[in-house]
Amino acid sequence: MLDVQVGVSISEQAISVQQIRASGPGGQNVNKVASAVELRLDIAASGLTDAQQHRLRQYRDQRITRQGEVIIKAQQYRTFQLNLEDARLRLVELVAQALYQPKRRKKTRPTRASVGRRLDKKNQQGNKKALRAKPF
């Protein structure tokens, strides 16, 4: 189980890992060693609740496909193990961001005193500008 946050974890069976060759510079070694990682998460088999799965699918991110998979490619490091750890960490961060629900804002009204202060300040500004006007 891959823990995302308190009470939320992802099943290891839903995660598939594939070694791929990293792109970019690397000298003679780049064509021989597959050190990059492509990590795929099947959202349907992830062990998340239906509501959490729905939130994850609706989350706007290019790494989430229409077929309900999360694809993360990690190639920052030169070893497979470090890239695997990086990919798993990025998966946890993505799922945590997708499941975050901001608190709904409660509508409030300004107090009578704050409205009065605002109007007094507005009158003062108007009077100040009226004094700058040229007399007729």
Query: Is the sign of the CA dihedral 43, 44, 46, 48 positive or negative?
Result: positive
Asked if residue 79 is part of any domain, the answer here is yes
Residue 36's CB is within 10 A of a number of other CB atoms, namely: 22
Q: 2 has which bridge partners?
A: 10
CATH number of the domain bearing residue 90: 3.30.160.20
Q: Decide: 111 and 119 in contact? Cβ < 8 Å.
A: no
Asked if residue 62 is part of any domain, the answer here is yes
Asked if residue 130 is part of any domain, the answer here is no
Most distant CA pair in the chain: distance in Å?
A: 89
Per the structure, how many domains does the chain have?
A: 1
Q: Decide: 46 and 57 in contact? Cβ < 8 Å.
A: no
Print the domain residue range for 66. Answer: 2-99
Asked if residue 114 is part of any domain, the answer here is no
User: What letter represents residue 41's amino acid?
Assistant: L
Tell me the whole-structure pTM to 2 decimals.
0.64
Q: CA angle, 104 as apex, 103 and 106 as ends, to 5°? A: 125
Asked if residue 120 is part of any domain, the answer here is no
Q: Which residue has the tokens 């109007």?
A: 119
Asked if residue 136 is part of any domain, the answer here is no
What does each of the 136 residues of the chain score in pLDDT, given as a tens digit? 766 666 776 776 778 787 777 776 666 666 667 778 888 888 877 777 777 778 878 887 777 788 878 888 888 887 888 888 888 888 888 888 888 888 999 999 999 999 999 999 999 999 999 999 888 7
Exposed, middle or buried, 102 (CB in 10 Å: 0-12/13-18/19+)? exposed
